Structure 1
Amino acid sequence: MTDFDDLLKANREFAAEFDLGGFDGKAHAGVAIVTCMDSRIDPLRMLGLAHGDAKIFRNPGGRVTTAALEALVLGVHLLNVDRILVIPHTRCAMAANTEAELRVKVGQSAGLDASWQPFHVIEDQRAALEEDVRKVRSHPLIPDSVKVGGFMYDVDTGLLTQYV
């Protein structure tokens, strides 16, 4: 079982200094973040937050999906969330490719037909961001008292710009 040895070794080092035991699992800064799975994004550090401050939901493109809404509702009602940030990013593959292009790329990589797989590409990131913020703000289980903002993260500068 050597496929994961490097990660298990790193985990043992992490666990040796682990100090999050007994944590209550709430968002202590009251923040929830919906962002992309892109590894260039460090959601806590980019906002000056620490472990335990925020709930983070990640998916391709950082879209507010049904699963993201479920997480946000739980966060608001059970986990101390009172501010929600929706944060897609620049140079996102989900906005730089068409559905057909992604299906071809994945199909070539897999050696299988991927024409049936949806990838939910983003044709217009600003329009998608506005739509996603509207979804959150209009959800019947997310009260108006919860602040919701739409931002764009620049992967080349590290800066956030608020658009919504």
Structure 2
Amino acid sequence: MSDDFDDLLTANRAFADTFALQGFDGVAKAGVALVTCMDSRIDPLGMVGLKPGDAKIFRNPGGRVTPQALEAIVLGVHLLNVDRVLVVPHTRCAVASSTEAELRRRVSESAGQDASWQSFPTVDDQVDTLKEDVAKVRTHPLVPESVQVGGFIYDVDTGLLRREV
């Protein structure tokens, strides 16, 4: 059966030939959890010098601390060795440089149908939003004070992180 995924399945077979994580228990070896954007310009492990198995990664539009991200962080802290959490939005992010109306219009045009009902939360001020998101993690009743939480902005043009919180 040939389909649109053949190139990816071929690449997967090559990946599996040298797969080194068999038997790994799934804990974050470096004790790190990272919440970041789904943007393909971001290499979450590489940007902080980690490798597969070192961290738990949660990605979503804008790198926001959503209820789902908080669930992942709590699980990571209590079950998967996480003791440091990085919240990392980035420069030139669509959700920080567009209004929700603009995103709905663009999606509607691309889809050829009305997307006004779809939620696309946007960010007016990245630094203020980052402070709010870090506070959500720090004040969550299931995240102990011993967990270090930092807020950073990743520059997609230089690869550098800038600590904001």
Q: TM-score, normalised by structure 2?
A: 0.98
The aligned counterpart of 1:142 is: 143
Distance (Å, rounded) in 2 between the aligned partners of 1:19 and 1:50? 12
The aligned counterpart of 1:128 is: 129
The aligned counterpart of 1:38 is: 39
Q: Note the residue ranges of structure 1 that are not aligned, 5 or more in a row.
A: none
Distance (Å, rounded) in 2 between the aligned partners of 1:108 and 1:50? 39
Distance (Å, rounded) in 2 between the aligned partners of 1:43 and 1:2? 30
Q: What pairs with 1:102-117 in structure 2 (closer than 5 Å)?
A: 102-117=103-118
Which portions of structure 1, spanning 4 or more consecutive aligned residues, are displaced by more than 6 angstroms? none
SS of the counterpart of 1:84? strand
Distance (Å, rounded) in 1 between the aligned partners of 2:41 and 2:148? 26
- Give, in angstroms, the shift of residue 19 of structure 1: 1.2
Distance (Å, rounded) in 1 between the aligned partners of 2:23 and 2:40? 28
Q: What pairs with 1:77-88 in structure 2 (closer than 5 Å)?
A: 77-88=78-89
Distance (Å, rounded) in 2 between the aligned partners of 1:115 and 1:147? 39
The aligned counterpart of 2:23 is: 22
Identity %: 72
Distance (Å, rounded) in 1 between the aligned partners of 2:151 and 2:52? 22
Letter aligned with residue 56 of structure 2:
K
CA RMSD of aligned residues (A): 0.5
Q: TM-score, normalised by structure 1?
A: 0.99
SS of the counterpart of 2:132? helix
Q: Note the residue ranges of structure 2 that are not aligned, 5 or more in a row.
A: none
